[in-house]
């Protein structure tokens, strides 16, 4: 009696000999097909073949189990779905302008006894949109940190983003992936930070989308940097720094100049205090002058009104004299030739 190991070797040898002589048979009525990957908007072919149809027809059904074609007969009124080839051994159809809704498992069937089927999974790739860069608005100064963000939506599966500064690859933060509103595609966001130098002036920072739907091409967006590095700094600014400043820049393309006029005002606290003091003194003087003017005006008005007014002084003793002659004789000093009145004008 042979051992079990010897029996296994004998059976294996017999199998190999039969296979080499073509004596092994297989199910020739089993249809065959293949999975397909298509970019959204493109055309996809679904091919089903069978060696022995056994006088039966092939049929294609969509993921919702709706019959698309039974042999040469159209079953679904979708003009995007067309018959490419129909023979007893083959049924090939096409779906034009494929969309994400066309994705799923398609079934090829042959109605023999028993019914045999084959599955084909159609994958539709969502094309990512052109990336957009944000976060940069104003020119940077040498030593500043540039913070840029790039995002692209509509990819399926989620796309990859990469950054370049000129020809140099930049290291970015881990990307953020969010599902779009349609529930089928994704938005990818990437952020990058780096310190700029004068060598970065005029350099383009590029965000590129990598995705299998782009078929050996890519989509990218660039942002040119402006970096200020010829900066004149005044540690202690004063009036003597006022004047016209000229900046010269030269390259192989030529020479360029920029002119800047600087006017420095003295705004020290001491100056402000002195100015305030002088202003107060000036105000007081103005008030005094104003009051003097009013006084002079009043005095002048008074003098004008009393012009011509006089005081009369009569001779003493005139009240007791019986007559005029006696009054004159009794007048002080007894001078008959004197004036009878003295007038004083103010």
Encode 106-125 in three state secondary structure. EEEEECCCCCEEEEEEEEEE
Mean pLDDT for the chain overall? 82
Greater confidence (6 vs 262) lies with 262
According to the per-residue pLDDT averaged within each range, which of 187-191, 233-237, 302-306 is highest? 187-191
pLDDT digit string, tens, across residues 65-121: 999 999 999 998 899 999 999 999 999 999 999 999 999 999 999 999 899 999 999
Distances (CA, A) of 104 to 36, 37, 75, 196: 10, 11, 19, 49
User: Do 223 and 152 share a structural domain?
Assistant: yes
Residue 111 shares a structural domain with residue 90: yes
Q: What's the pLDDT at 251? A: 66
How far, in Å, are 49, 50, 56, 58, 193 from residue 87 at the CA level?
9, 10, 11, 9, 61
Looking at the fold, whether 75 and 150 belong to one and the same domain comes out as no
Examine residue 195 and state whether it is found in any structural domain, yes or no.
yes
Residue 346: predicted pLDDT: 46
Q: Which 3 state secondary structure label does DSSP give 320?
A: coil
Q: Which residue has the higher pLDDT, 163 or 137?
A: 163
Q: Residue 293: inside a domain, yes or no?
A: no
* pLDDT, greater one: 75 or 279: 75
Total of domains in the chain: 3
Residue 76 lies in a domain: yes
CA distance 162 to 141: 25
> Same structural domain for residues 147 and 104?
no
Q: Is residue 220 part of a domain?
A: yes
**Which of 177, 207, 228 is the C-terminal boundary of a domain?**
228
Residue ranges with strand state E in 238-332: 243-251, 254-262, 310-313
* Highest mean pLDDT out of 82-91, 249-258, 285-294: 82-91
Examine the pLDDT at 316 and tell me if it is beyond 70. Answer: no
pLDDT at 177: 97
Q: Are residues 46 and 106 located together in one domain of the fold?
A: yes
* The pLDDT of residue 8: 39
Same-domain check for residues 146 and 93? no
pLDDT, residue 220, reads 96
Instruction: Say if residue 141 is in the same domain as residue 163.
Output: yes
Domain presence at residue 120: yes
Q: Is residue 92 part of a domain?
A: yes
Is 162 inside any structural domain? yes
- What pLDDT, on the 0 to 100 scale, is given for residue 68? 97
Q: Are residues 79 and 117 in the same domain?
A: yes
Same domain, 47 and 78: yes
Q: How far apart are CA 243 and CA 54, in angstroms?
A: 101
Residues 167 and 212 in one domain: yes
pLDDT category of residue 326 using cuts at 50, 70 and 90: low
* Token couple for 93: 């159809």
Q: Are residues 183 and 211 in the same domain?
A: yes
Which residues are paired to 49 by β-bridges?
32, 90
* Predicted confidence (pLDDT) per residue in 22-36, tens digit: 333 468 999 999 999
* Best-predicted range by mean pLDDT (145-159, 296-310, 323-337): 145-159
Q: Which of 164, 197, 228 is the last residue of a domain?
A: 228
pLDDT tens, residue by residue, 198-212: 999 999 999 999 999
The domain containing residue 74 runs over which residues?
A: 27-125
Q: 20: exposed, middle or buried (C-beta count within 10 Å: 0-12, 13-18, 19+)?
A: exposed
Q: Is 249's pLDDT higher than 60?
A: yes
Q: Is the pTM of this model over 0.85?
A: no
**Average pLDDT of 172-190?**
96
Beta-strand pair 36-39/116-125:
parallel
The more confidently predicted of residues 258 and 212 is 212
If asked whether residues 35 and 94 sit together in one domain, one would say: yes
pLDDT at site 179:
96
Domain edge (last residue) among 228, 251, 285:
228
| Rounded percentage of the chain residues whose pLDDT exceeds 70 | 76
Buried b / exposed e along 138-167 (16+ C-beta atoms within 10 A): eebebeeebebbbbbbbbbebbebbbbbee
User: Which range, of 167-171, 176-180, 253-257, averages the lowest pLDDT?
Assistant: 253-257
Residue 270 lies in a domain: no
CATH number, domain with residue 156: 2.60.40.10
């Amino acid at each position: 009696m042979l051992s079990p190991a010897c029996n296994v070797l004998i059976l294996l040898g017999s199998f190999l000999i039969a296979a080499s002589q073509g004596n092994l048979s297989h199910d020739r009525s089993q249809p065959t097909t293949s999975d397909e990957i298509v970019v959204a908007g493109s055309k996809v072919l679904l091919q089903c073949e069978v060696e022995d149809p056994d006088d039966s027809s092939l049929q294609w059904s969509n993921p919702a189990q709706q019959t698309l074609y039974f042999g040469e007969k159209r079953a679904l009124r979708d003009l995007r779905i067309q018959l490419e080839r129909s023979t007893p051994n083959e049924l090939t159809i096409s779906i034009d302008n494929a969309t994400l809704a066309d994705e799923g498992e398609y079934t090829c069937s042959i109605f023999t006894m028993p019914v045999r089927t084959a599955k084909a999974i159609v994958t539709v790739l969502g094309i990512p949109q052109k990336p957009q860069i944000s976060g940069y608005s104003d020119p940077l100064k040498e030593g500043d940190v540039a913070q840029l963000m790039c995002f692209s939506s509509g990819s399926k599966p989620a796309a990859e983003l990469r950054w370049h500064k000129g020809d140099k690859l930049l290291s970015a933060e881990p990307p953020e992936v969010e599902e779009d509103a349609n529930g089928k595609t994704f938005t990818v966001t990437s952020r990058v930070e780096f310190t700029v130098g004068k060598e970065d002036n005029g350099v383009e920072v590029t965000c590129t989308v990598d995705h299998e739907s782009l078929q050996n091409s890519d989509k990218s967006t660039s942002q040119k940097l402006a970096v200020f590095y010829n900066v004149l700094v005044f540690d202690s600014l004063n009036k003597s720094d006022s004047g016209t400043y000229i900046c010269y820049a030269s390259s192989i393309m030529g020479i360029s100049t920029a002119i800047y006029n600087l006017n420095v005002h003295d705004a020290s606290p001491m100056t402000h205090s002195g100015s305030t003091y002088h202003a107060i003194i000036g105000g007081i003087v103005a008030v005094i002058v104003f009051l003097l003017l009013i006084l002079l005006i009043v005095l002048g008005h008074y003098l004008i009104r009393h012009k011509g007014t006089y005081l009369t002084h009569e001779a003493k003793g005139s009240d007791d004299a019986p007559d005029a002659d006696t009054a004159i004789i009794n007048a002080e000093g007894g001078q008959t030739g004197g004036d009878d009145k003295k007038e004083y004008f103010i």
